[in-house]
A and B are shown apart, each in its own frame.
Chain A
Amino acid sequence: MKVTIDGIEIDVPKGTTILQAARMIGKKVAPPAMCYYSKLKTTGGYCRTCIVKVTKASAQNPNPIPKPVASCRTEVADGMEVQNFTSQEVIEARKGVVEFLLINHPLDCPICDQAGECKLQDLGYEHGSAKTRYEFKRREYEMIDIGDKIKLHMNRCILCYRCVKLCDQLTDKRVHGVIHRGDAAEISTYIKNVIDNDFSGNVIDVCPVGALTDRTFRFKQRVWFTKPVDAKRNCDKCSGKVRLWLKGEEVLRVTARMDEWGEVEDFICNACRFEKKRKSDWTIEGPSKIDRHSVISQNHYEHLNELKVKAMKQQKALGFMPFDKRP
């Protein structure tokens, strides 16, 4: 099936979504995706950041689809033509979506563990508008520990449903989910509970923001001060292929390896993630290849001062208030 995205044609198998087709073409046409996750089934459709305009539905039906579609959940048809970054309408609409995602976000990046590898931060920077027009009190929740491994900071959650689908698909007894509804919806265990089984730690990696974070991340460090390396061990539960985040000889944190779309390559087990915190537990394969565009890599190799300026610029772009001055 032939599909044209932003003027570039590609041949893809039947059943491919517009988003997948765009990713095959490459970064220059791929829409941002905050909720879709190719490694999990039935994800996508919620955040609406990946919306695109279909200017020609198919070879048989040359009419445009009147409303923008979620590219992650729309399959291509032969002869389909799609506009993403070439459509001003899409860019405007996406700006709206980004603003919606941010109006209740605490913008606490200066103290957030995820800063530097947060998909929402990247999204706001690349696709948002200069400042927020929201003047009301933001939604606030207490931060809680879901057991001794995972921290939930609901303020930051964008309700992408990835963590819920992950637990449905990788673990047998889901204990957390989405409760309440509308803008009162929250990720929660409802009763005091612990998310704990062999693969539950992966919720940390799939969470696009800093809502689910690793409590065992030692000496809380900005990610860009740590050095990522790919490492391996023989594990009977998972592939044992991980990324270690090192500071000198110390393993600060273990995550899955990420691909160029920020998705894990292989899900890893909790033993690898939470328990193997000595360098000697691992065979180091070499430095991680990190996408040059990502905030981590940019900042990682840059001088500290420059880094600060960047972070500040980014915050300004997002309409941040300094954390201590927030109402």
Chain B
Amino acid sequence: MGAQIHGTLEFNAEKRKDIRFSEEALKEIEKIKSRYPQGKQKSALIPVLHIAQAENDGWLSPEVMDYVASLLNIQPIEVFEVASFYTMFNLKPVGKCVIEVCRTSSCWLLGAEDIIKYIEKKLGIKEGQTTPDGMFTLKTVECLGSCGTAPVMQVGASYHENLTFEKVDKILDKYRAEGRRRNYTDLDYENTK
């Protein structure tokens, strides 16, 4: 979740005009909309916002959300309300790989705090920040449903479990070497147990 934004964000109408999702994304959105009864297309909002985020470098700008509102024929505020409620939606630009480290119960008992500190030190950023090269953003999140293999982190669609410092090194080095953006919607997830 972003910081308190409080009704003062500038909306850029010029930017909004240029927004158009890929054909593939639009097709996917049509498919999702067909899952609900007539007139209930707003139900597609959350899945569509995931697609929108993947189409927009991993975050939801006011302009993109306005575009999403037009796709679903709802008011922009309905999109803002929803996007700001859910933690998986980024309201500010993020790095190519968003590292989400679980900080809850079992992970906490087994060293999540140290993993977070270690990543902060390794990347030279604090939680919530992005590396200057735009490669990584570090977030902490609540229980990822992987407590039996704690500590755990998620990057895009992939789960990385049973973390140690060495394992974190290996994973982050690999991501950096590949240099590509990771989204929740990726089909090629690569979990490590």
Binding site for B on A (CB under 8 A): 141-142, 144, 146, 152, 154, 173-181, 184, 186, 188-193
Q: Is A193's CB under 8 angstroms from B7's CB?
A: yes
How far in angstroms is the closest Cβ of chain A from B38? 21
Residues of A within 8 A of B8 (CB): 142, 144, 192
Q: How far is the CA of A174 from the CA of B74 in the complex (A)?
A: 10
- B6 proximal to A (CB < 8 A): yes
Q: How far is the CA of A58 from the CA of B135 in the complex (A)?
A: 63
Task: Choose the segment among B77-85, B109-117, B137-145 that binds chain A (4+ C-beta atoms closer than 8 Å).
Answer: B77-85
A-B contact count, CB below 8 Å?
Answer: 68
With contacts A178-B81, A179-B84 known, is A191 near B6, CB below 8 A? no
Q: Is B81's CB under 8 angstroms from A192's CB?
A: no
Q: How far is the CA of A92 from the CA of B11 in the complex (A)?
A: 47
Q: Is A177's CB under 8 angstroms from B78's CB?
A: yes
Q: Is B85's CB under 8 angstroms from A141's CB?
A: no
Which 7 pairs across A and B sit closest by C-beta, in order of nearness? A190-B80, A179-B84, A188-B7, A191-B11, A189-B7, A177-B81, A191-B9
How far in angstroms is the closest Cβ of chain A from B40? 17
Q: How far is the CA of A173 from the CA of B73 in the complex (A)?
A: 12
Q: Choose one: A175, A176, A184; the contact of B4 (CB below 8 Å).
A: A184
Q: How far is the CA of A186 from the CA of B6 in the complex (A)?
A: 8
13 contacts between A and B (CB under 8 A): A176-B77, A177-B77, A177-B80, A180-B1, A181-B84, A186-B6, A188-B6, A190-B5, A190-B62, A190-B76, A191-B10, A192-B8, A193-B11
Residues of B within 8 A of A181 (CB): 1, 84-85
How far in angstroms is the closest Cβ of chain A from B124? 28
Residues of A within 8 A of B85 (CB): 179-181
With contacts A141-B4, A180-B4 known, is A190 near B84, CB below 8 A? yes
Q: Is B84's CB under 8 angstroms from A180's CB?
A: yes
Q: How far is the CA of A190 from the CA of B65 in the complex (A)?
A: 11
Residues of B within 8 A of A141 (CB): 4, 6
> Looking across the interface, which residue of chain B has its beta carbon closest to that of A146?
B7
Residues of B within 8 A of A189 (CB): 7, 77
- B149 proximal to A (CB < 8 A): no
Residues of A within 8 A of B78 (CB): 174, 177
Q: How far is the CA of A152 from the CA of B7 in the complex (A)?
A: 10
How far in angstroms is the closest Cβ of chain B from A219? 27
Identify which of A146, A188, A189, A190 gathers the most chain B CB atoms within 10 Å of its CB.
A190
Q: How far is the CA of A65 from the CA of B172 in the complex (A)?
A: 55
Q: Is A174's CB under 8 angstroms from B10's CB?
A: no
Q: How far is the CA of A181 from the CA of B1 in the complex (A)?
A: 9
Identify which of B6, B8, B80 gathers the most chain A CB atoms within 10 Å of its CB.
B6
Residues of B within 8 A of A154 (CB): 6
Residues of B within 8 A of A186 (CB): 4, 6
11 further A-B contacts with Cβ under 8 Å, apart from A191-B62, A192-B10, are A141-B4, A141-B6, A174-B77, A176-B77, A179-B5, A179-B84, A179-B85, A181-B84, A190-B76, A190-B80, A192-B9
Q: How far is the CA of A154 from the CA of B8 in the complex (A)?
A: 13
> Looking across the interface, which residue of chain B has its beta carbon closest to that of A142?
B6
Q: Is B5's CB under 8 angstroms from A192's CB?
A: no
- B56 proximal to A (CB < 8 A): no
Residues of B within 8 A of A173 (CB): 75
Q: Is A191's CB under 8 angstroms from B4's CB?
A: no
Q: How far is the CA of A142 from the CA of B6 in the complex (A)?
A: 8
How far in angstroms is the closest Cβ of chain A from B73? 12
> Looking across the interface, which residue of chain A has its beta carbon closest to that of B11?
A191
With contacts A180-B84, A191-B9 known, is A175 near B77, CB below 8 A? yes
Residues of A within 8 A of B7 (CB): 144, 146, 152, 176, 188-193
Residues of B within 8 A of A152 (CB): 7
> Which chain B residues in 175-189 approach chain A with CB under 8 Å?
none
> Which chain B residues in 1-47 approach chain A with CB under 8 Å?
1, 4-11
> Looking across the interface, which residue of chain A has its beta carbon closest to that of B65?
A190
How far in angstroms is the closest Cβ of chain A from B78? 7
